[in-house]
């Protein structure tokens, strides 16, 4: 059962409305839960230069079946030209919690 669920990582600029972003994904059943972490410094290469910005890590719990529609919706909502979208498999977890993810994303 665990392999039916994933954690998706993304980031948002610190000034973005992370709560509205998360609410949309949960309301549309694309995510069971979205955690929005506090501001962090990100240093990355973009368009040939090293850049530094303040961002917020977003952790999205969802079902594997929702990954494609989540990616489509995230691109619509996200302000970045190339948003982070990293899907990590859940290899084990509480049966009750995993059932909750499934129920919340159906």
pTM comes to 0.93
Mention every residue, 6+ apart, whose C-beta is less than 8 A from residue 64: 3, 4, 5, 6
Question: pLDDT above 90 covers what percent of the chain?
Answer: 96
Mean pLDDT of 45-57: 96
What is the distance between the alpha carbons of residues 61 and 53, in angstroms, rounded to a whole number? 25
Question: pLDDT above 70 covers what percent of the chain?
Answer: 98
| CATH numbers and ranges of domains, the chain | 2-104 (3.30.70.120)
pLDDT of the residue at 1: 66
Average pLDDT across the chain, whole number: 95
Q: For residue 25, what are the CA distances in angstroms to 6, 21, 61, 72, 77?
A: 15, 7, 10, 11, 10
Mention every residue, 6+ apart, whose C-beta is less than 8 A from residue 26: 32, 33, 34, 104
> Where residue 3 falls among pLDDT bands split at 50, 70, 90?
confident
């Amino acid at each position: 059962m665990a392999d039916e669920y994933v954690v998706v990582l993304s980031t948002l600029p610190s000034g973005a409305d992370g709560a509205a972003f998360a609410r949309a994904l949960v309301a549309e059943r694309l995510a069971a839960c979205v955690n929005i972490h506090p501001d962090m410094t990100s240093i990355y290469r973009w368009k040939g230069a090293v850049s530094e910005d303040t961002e917020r890590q977003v952790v999205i719990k969802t079902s594997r079946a929702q990954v494609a529609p989540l990616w489509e919706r995230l691109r619509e909502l996200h302000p970045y030209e190339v948003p982070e979208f990293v899907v990590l498999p859940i290899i084990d977890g509480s049966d009750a919690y995993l059932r909750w993810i499934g129920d919340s994303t159906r």
